[in-house]
Amino acid sequence: MNKVNGDMYDWIDYTWNPVKGCQHDCKYCYLKSIFNFDMTPRLSQKTLDETLKSGSVFVGSSSDMFGEFIPSDWIRKSLNRCDDMFSTYILQTKNPKRYQEFLNYFDKFFVLGTTIESNRLYQISKAPNVNERYSAMRLLAGHTQAKLFITIEPVLDFDTSELLDMILCCYPDFVNIGADSKNHHLPEPSRQKLHLLIKELKAVTEVRLKKNLSRLL
C-alpha cells in the first residue's frame, strides 16, 4: 500500500494496486509518461498479500481493474481482500458496466466511480465512450449499497446543459472535478463555463475540486 501524495485525490489515504496495467491507452494517462512503466495487465500476488491499512483506500489507482482485459478471477481475489469494516474502498473505472458482475461485493463501505470528461465524444482513448459510461452508472443508482461518484477529470470542453443532465441522471453522491496536469494539449472549457458547471452541480450534490483545477479557474 502507498500513502497518497501528489496529484491523487486529497480525500484518499492510501492506494493499493493488486491488479496492474491497462489497455485503454488514454491520451492523458500519467503512467505513460513514466519511463519504462509496464502497462501489461497482470496480478501482483505480492501486493494482493499485503496487510491493508484502515482508511480510505483507492483500489486499482494505477490500472483500470474493471477493464475488459482484466480476468474476473483477478477482480474477485482483490475484492475478497476488501473486508476491513474500518476502511472505505474506492473503485474507479472507464468500464462501469462491469460493476454489475460484482454487485454482491459492494456494501456500504465501497464507493464506485467512473470518469466522464465531457458530454462530447472526443477520441482520446480506447475505453468505452462517455455515453456508455453514463448509461452503466445510471443503472447502478438505487441498486447498490455503495456510494456513487463521477469524476470529470481532466475536464474537457463541454455543453453545459447536456453534461449536467448526464452527470445528475447518475445520482452521484459527489462529483470530483480536475484538470489536465501534464499539458497534453486537450480542448478545455472557458473559465465562465466551468464556473457555471460548478455552480449548477453544487445546487444538487457535493462537488470536490482538485488543486490542479486552479489553472482553469
Q: What percent of the chain has pLDDT over 70?
A: 98
Query: Would you call the peptide bond into 154 cis, given omega within 30 degrees of 0 as the criterion?
Result: yes
Task: Find all residues with CB under 8 Å of 67, minimum gap 6, and list them.
Answer: 22, 23, 24, 41, 93, 94, 95, 98, 127
Q: What is the reported pLDDT for 33?
A: 67
- Residue 34 above 90 pLDDT? no
- Residue 103 above 70 pLDDT? yes
User: Residue written as cell 469524476?
Assistant: 151
Cα–Cα dist 206/199, whole Å: 11
Question: Which pLDDT tens digit goes with each residue over 173-195?
Answer: 999 999 998 888 999 999 999 99
The residues pairing with 43 across neighbouring beta strands, listed in sequence order, are: 19
Cα–Cα dist 140/179, whole Å: 26
Mean pLDDT of the chain: 93
Q: What is the reported pLDDT for 166?
A: 96
Instruction: Sketch out the chain's domains with CATH numbers.
Output: 2-215 (3.20.20.70)
Q: Residue range 89-99: average pLDDT? A: 98
Q: Are 118 and 155 in contact (CB under 8 A)?
A: yes
Q: What is the pTM of this model?
A: 0.94
Q: State the pLDDT confidence band at 47, using cuts at 50, 70 and 90.
A: very high
Rg value, the chain, Cα: 17
Q: State the pLDDT confidence band at 82, using cuts at 50, 70 and 90.
A: very high
Cα–Cα dist 186/200, whole Å: 24
Cα–Cα dist 20/39, whole Å: 7
Q: Which residue has the higher pLDDT, 29 or 7?
A: 29
User: Residue written as cell 462517455?
Assistant: 130
User: What are the helix (H) ranges across the chain?
Assistant: 45-48, 72-80, 130-140, 160-168, 191-202
Q: What percent of the chain has pLDDT over 90?
A: 80
169 phi and psi angles, rounded to 5 deg = -70, -10
Helix (H, G, I), strand (E, B) or coil at 101: helix
Q: Residue range 79-93: average pLDDT? A: 92
Q: State the pLDDT confidence band at 109, using cuts at 50, 70 and 90.
A: very high
